[in-house]
Structure 1
Amino acid sequence: MLRVGVVGVGMMGQHHARVYSELAKEEKVELVGVADANFERARGIARKFGTIPYADYRELARENLDAVSVAVPTSLHKDVALEFIKGGASVLVEKPIADTIENAKAIIIAAEEMGVTLMVGHIERFNPAVMRLKELISQGELGKLVTISAKRVGPMAARIRDVGIIIDLGVHDIDVISYLFGEPVRTVYARAGNVVHPAGVEDHALITLGFDEGTGIVETNWLTPHKTRTLTVVGTVGIAYLDYIEQNLKLYNSDWVKEAKIRRREPLRNEIEHFLECVEEGKNPIVDGKGGLHALKVALLAQQSARTGEVTEVEV
């Protein structure tokens, strides 16, 4: 039975702890502990899910874990991830993989040297609707892809303090669009700005992603009073409309309209189960360190493009 832990039990991390506790009840893992700099928060989550709280993640790292979820602020990802990797634990690090390219590479290299699994938590890859859409695209239901447009808007989340909207939200759809096209992003052009946030912290953005053949568009903001998470995929023989939240998918062509049969399931549960399977079987995760690095690189270049007003090429 894998010994697991969670570092950072804020808005996202507490859900990691919940899923692990559910798996523990099924005797699939042992939730050894949770760590958070806010010890009262750690203690409350630990009490709720029947585990041990730690104020210092380094103490949890000494508990001989097999795997850990890292859900701390992005600027801390490198230090926390390396602490566990050097102890031989596999790591599921929340997106984005790190705050800089250099720090992301440091995590990837360390995981490779220690021979442990590194997975990046791009959770939308594990949304049942996205998984089904990828299958249908692979089967040729839409023909050759032409454009993929994403809309991810809503009110500001109080938990976000250390990054702008491109890194926090835009990176989701950057990753998904690249995944659906089946190739890395080649060029980036973005417009962004801040309405209610301080200078340098964008709260709205429109990002254009260039591929060898096809274009991706990401619209995202923290200004819309209601949450919307949608994706539109245009192909040469059909079009698909996906709703991330409702987990539904509709396909249209010149002859028919049909709705894909999708078994609703929590994406985070899918993600964590996949991570644990990779740890146990030594498989490469769907979103490995290199995949996470690419999404981060594109997001950072989108920020750069928004500042310079120029189309930026992505080194692959």
Structure 2
Amino acid sequence: MANLRAGLIGLGMMGRHHARVLASLDGVDLVAVADAGGDPHRVAGGRPIHATVEELIAEKLDYCMVAVPTALHEEIGVALAEAGVHTMIEKPLAQDTPSAERLAKAFSDAGLVGAVGHIERYNPALQQARARLEAGELGDVYQVATRRQGPFPSRIADVGVVKDLGTHDIDLTAWVTQQRFVSVSARTAYKSGREHEDLVAVVGQLSGGTVTNHLVNWLSPLKERVTVITGEKGAFVADTLTADLTYYANGLEQHTWSEIANFRGVSEGDVIRYAIAKPEPLRVEHENFRDAVLGQQADIVTMEQGLTTVRVAEACIESAQSGSTVEVPARGHDAGLVVR
């Protein structure tokens, strides 16, 4: 069987990593790349470098990776859908809900595989957490709290921290718990002099009753990517920078000190850091998309799921602007969404 012919549009900071993975992916030939600004990181490797998506489409692609600025996602994505090219678009799916809806519809109507590059789903720590939650190792899930902070990335100019970084936490929280967001209450801050927010704090409620908390900013010299999942049997702490998953079990020992025993809470138990395989998340993401294009069983973030994430992100922004809690209604396929 011939290798799939893949293209890549967008050769910036993320594009260079996509190029590296696509160039070495089994069953795939990266045949050409495109970027209106050329190839600043020199990742083309002798392949044709085009300026437009139309020139890239002319290479007779089976599928394409889109890593351009968010504001260009709809225009480029629709062009690929109309050309019959299966496509994965970097997160977020689009800059707003109407654009995301049009993209999801374009690929659905064309019968094409459309996916969104929410890479955190493929982090080994979160993959392990998801599997262990499904196996019941934590029991009922009470709370998911995430912290995602670090220095300001000057390359991001068209969206704020909610749609750029916060969408990671929205997607991974819904996926790891298998629950959708039903309401959010958020506060934002504008400290860097830009038109978009650079700090957000969100409290959310999920469909299964789980409470969520998300702290995201571009204002910290400390880089953090932590997810804490608390349940009836203990807590999982996933550090996606190191891909480590640690389990903090509830203690089983009875307290003999009466003042402590009167408090009917949990106590400290065993702590286990799991030894897990740590494949590169970006490679796993591309392997799954390749398999989906081939019609094989695969775990991708669909455009419908990406659309739902954009809706929740916009609800967070609306909440911050209005100072009120915003409901996130189930719409159509979202009502029964299972984000596996």
When normalised by structure 2's length, the TM-score is 0.88
Q: Distance in 1 between matches of 2:297 and 2:304?
A: 15
Q: Distance in 1 between matches of 2:300 and 2:61?
A: 22
Q: Distance in 2 between matches of 1:58 and 1:315?
A: 37
- Corresponding position of 1:208: 203
Question: Are the counterparts in 1 of residues 34 and 56 from structure 2 also a CA contact under 8 Å?
Answer: yes
- Corresponding position of 2:336: none
**Cα RMSD (Å) of the superposition?**
1.3
Secondary structure (helix, strand or coil) at the match of 2:181 reads coil
- Corresponding position of 2:5: 3
Matched, 1:183 2:151: no
Shift in Å, 1:197: 2.7
- Corresponding position of 1:262: 276
Q: Distance in 2 between matches of 1:240 and 1:6?
A: 36
- Corresponding position of 1:218: 214
- Corresponding position of 1:45: 43
Shift in Å, 1:64: 1.2
Question: Are the counterparts in 2 of residues 206 and 217 from structure 1 also a CA contact under 8 Å?
Answer: yes
Matched, 1:296 2:294: no
- Corresponding position of 1:107: 103
Q: Distance in 2 between matches of 1:149 and 1:12?
A: 26
Q: Which runs of 4+ in 1 moved over 4 A?
A: 282-285
Question: Are the counterparts in 2 of residues 3 and 32 from structure 1 also a CA contact under 8 Å?
Answer: yes
Q: Distance in 2 between matches of 1:74 and 1:146?
A: 34
Matched, 1:15 2:17: yes
Shift in Å, 1:85: 1.2
- Corresponding position of 1:56: 52
Shift in Å, 1:269: 0.4
Structure that is richer in helix per residue:
1
- Corresponding position of 1:281: 295
Q: Distance in 2 between matches of 1:288 and 1:12?
A: 20
Question: Are the counterparts in 2 of residues 242 and 250 from structure 1 also a CA contact under 8 Å?
Answer: yes
Identity %: 35
What does the per-residue CA deviation read over 1:190-231, in whole Å, with 9 as the maximum and x for residues that have no partner? 000111133x41111101111131111110111111211001
Question: Are the counterparts in 1 of residues 184 and 327 from structure 2 also a CA contact under 8 Å?
Answer: yes
Matched, 1:237 2:251: no
Secondary structure (helix, strand or coil) at the match of 2:130 reads helix
Counterpart amino acid of 1:196?
Answer: S
Secondary structure (helix, strand or coil) at the match of 1:206 reads strand
Unaligned runs of 5+ in 2: 252-268, 331-340
What does the per-residue CA deviation read over 1:7-61, in whole Å, with 9 as the maximum and x for residues that have no partner? 10100011111101112xx4x211111100102438x321xx3421111121001
User: Highest Rg: 1 or 2?
Assistant: 2
Secondary structure (helix, strand or coil) at the match of 1:229 reads strand
How do 1:243-258 residues align onto structure 2 when only pairs under 5 Å count?
A: 243-253=239-249, 254=251, 255-258=269-272
Matched, 1:34 2:33: yes
- Corresponding position of 2:71: 75
- Corresponding position of 1:169: 165
Counterpart amino acid of 2:68?
Answer: V
Question: Are the counterparts in 2 of residues 62 and 87 from structure 1 also a CA contact under 8 Å?
Answer: no
What does the per-residue CA deviation read over 1:161-205, in whole Å, with 9 as the maximum and x for residues that have no partner? 11100011011001111112211100011000111133x411111
Counterpart amino acid of 2:312?
Answer: V
What does the per-residue CA deviation read over 1:101-134, in whole Å, with 9 as the maximum and x for residues that have no partner? 1111111111112111000110000001110000
Matched, 1:119 2:115: yes
